[in-house]
Chains A and B, each alone.
Chain A
Amino acid sequence: MENLVSIFLDSVFVGNILLAYFLGMCSFLAISRKMETAIGLGLAVTFVLSITTPANWLVYHYLLSPGALAWAGFPGIDLSFLKFIIFIAVIAAIVQALEMIIDRYLPPLYMALGVFLPLIAVNCAILGASLFMVERNYNFIESVVYGASSGFGWMLAIVTMAGIRKKLRYANVPKGLENFGISMIITGLMAMAFMLFSGITL
Chain B
Amino acid sequence: MKITKTKAFNVFFKPIWESNPISGQILGICSALAVTVQLKTAVVMGLALTLVLAFSNLSISLMRKFIPRNIRIIIELTVIATLVILTDQVLKAFLYDISKQLSIFVGLIITNCIILGRAETYALGNPPFLSLLDGIGNGLGYSQILITVAVIREFFGAGKFFGFQVIPDTFYAAGYENMGLMVLAPGAFIAIGLIVWLQKTVSKEKT
**A interface residues, Cβ below 8 angstroms from B:** 19-26, 29-30, 81-85, 88, 92, 122-124, 126-128, 131-132, 135, 174-177, 180-185, 187-189, 191-192, 195
Q: Is the CB of B88 within 8 A of A81?
A: yes
B52 → chain A closest CB, angstroms: 12
Give how many B residues have a beta carbon under 8 Å from the other chain's beta carbons: 44
Q: 8 Å CB contacts to A: which residues of B164-207?
A: 181, 184-190, 192-194, 196-197, 200-201, 204
Could you say which residues of chain B place their CB within 8 Å of the CB of A192? 181, 184, 186
Separation of A180 and B185 alpha carbons in the complex (Å): 17
Given contacts A176-B204, A177-B193, A195-B186, contact A85 B82 (CB under 8 A): yes
Partner of A127, one of B23, B107, B194: B107
Q: Which of B73-81, B121-129, B131-139 lines the interface with chain A?
A: B73-81
Q: Bound complex: CA of A85 vs CA of B85, how far in Å? A: 8
B188 to chain A: which residues have CB within 8 Å?
22, 188
Residue contact A123 to B104, C-beta cutoff 8 Å = no
Contact A22 B32 (CB under 8 A): yes
Given that A26-B27, A92-B74 are contacting pairs, would A123 and B200 also be in contact in the complex, using a CB cutoff of 8 Å?
A: no
Q: Which B-chain residue is minimally distant from A129 (CB atoms)?
A: B104
Query: In the bound complex, do residue B85 and residue A187 qualify as a contact, i.e. CB atoms below 8 Å apart?
Result: no
Q: How far is the CB of A37 from chain B (nearest CB, A)?
A: 17
